[in-house]
Amino acid sequence: MELRQLRYFIGVAEAGSLLKASARLHIAQPALGQQMAALEGELGARLFVRSSRGMSLTEAGTAFLDHARIVLADVERARSVVKDTSAIPSGDVVIGLTNTIALAATVPIVLACRERLPQVRLRVVEAYSGHLREWLQSGRLDLAFLFGDTEDPALIKRPLLEEPLALVTDTRGPRLPSRISLARAARHPLVLPSPEHGLRRIIDEACAAQGLVPNVVAEIDSLPSVMRAVEAGIGSTILSLGSVAEGVESGRMRAATINDTSMLRRVVIAASVTRPGTNASRAVGDVASDVVKQKVLAGDWPGRWIGA
């Protein structure tokens, strides 16, 4: 199997036909077809369904596509690593942000990278922390902001900050104090993510330690939908203060810090142990960390900076 076959395969998969792919890849259509047939023969599986409308991926082809992209990304990383590390950082970097961190950090990180790293092409992926961890391991991400600094043999983690969690309500009820006990917060009708979610595990474990049962009225695994449910008066929720700062400042929501040491969430920046970083990815990691640090020190991101 050759690298060019993987590039051709990805090109055909994205174009949807040999005709379109041959024009994009600058290779004759018959030769491209032969390369795809040879690849299928080597793998012992059909990668495409061929029809008069073009070529679509089979189930095997869809599975192989992810691996082909990872292999080529690793090759590009290897090329970047052997370049002079004193050179100006350049190339593609993919960084993952959790949903709550994305609200506070996406725009500042993108702006800072454009200003300080003009030759880096940054792509931001937003997802739940569990997905980000899997994508780091598979090579789909270069870096990711995650929660929790427990030891993980697959990842290199650098702690950045501890952020407090808060009870978040709509503006219909009475005003909240600046701080509230976990017991009082747990009595509110709550809209929370499902138990598999990292934030929910923090809440459930903290409540269980005090013999509390949170009053969960709905489970929603979508941060925008949780926010809309709170604004609609369906219930309150528990989130980091930084993720709801805009809503509180605009008067759409109210928030009270939960006065309990177990209701703190540690934010880390992580990379894969098995996939060495490039000059560009290290530079992006440094810029992103600095952006978060400045926001914390300025009070724009409620929390305590614990990074270097």
Under CATH, what is the fold of the domain 162-264?
D-Maltodextrin-Binding Protein; domain 2 (3.40.190)
Q: Which residues of 71-109 are buried (b: 16+ CB within 10 A; e: fewer)?
A: eebeeebeebeeeeeeeebbbbbbbbbbbbbbbbbeebb
| Angle (nearest 5°) at CA 153 between 150 and 155 | 75
Could you give the 3-state DSSP secondary structure of residue 275? coil
User: According to CATH, where is 1.10.10.10 located in the chain?
Assistant: 3-82
The hierarchical CATH code for the domain 91-161+265-305 is 3.40.190.10
* Residue 37, beta-bridge partner list: none
| Spatial separation of the C-alpha atoms in residues 218 and 216, rounded to whole Å | 6
pTM, to two decimals: 0.70
Residue 80 is predicted with a pLDDT of 65
Residue 242 is predicted with a pLDDT of 84
Given a contact cutoff of 8 angstroms between Cβ atoms, the answer to whether 256 and 180 are in contact is yes
Residue type, 192: L
Burial class (CB in 10 A: 0-12, 13-18, 19+), 145: buried
Per-position pLDDT tens, the chain of length 308: 788 899 999 999 999 888 899 988 888 989 998 999 999 999 999 999 988 888 999 999 999 998 888 888 878 767 766 665 557 888 899 999 998 899 889 999 999 999 999 999 999 999 888 889 889 988 889 999 999 878 888 899 999 999 999 999 999 888 899 999 999 999 999 999 999 888 898 999 999 999 999 999 999 998 899 999 999 999 999 999 888 888 888 899 999 999 999 999 999 999 998 877 888 999 999 999 999 999 999 988 999 999 98
User: According to CATH, where is 3.40.190.10 located in the chain?
Assistant: 91-161+265-305
Q: Estimate to the nearest angstrom the gap between the alpha carbon of 175 and the chain centroid.
A: 34
Class of domain 3-82: mainly alpha
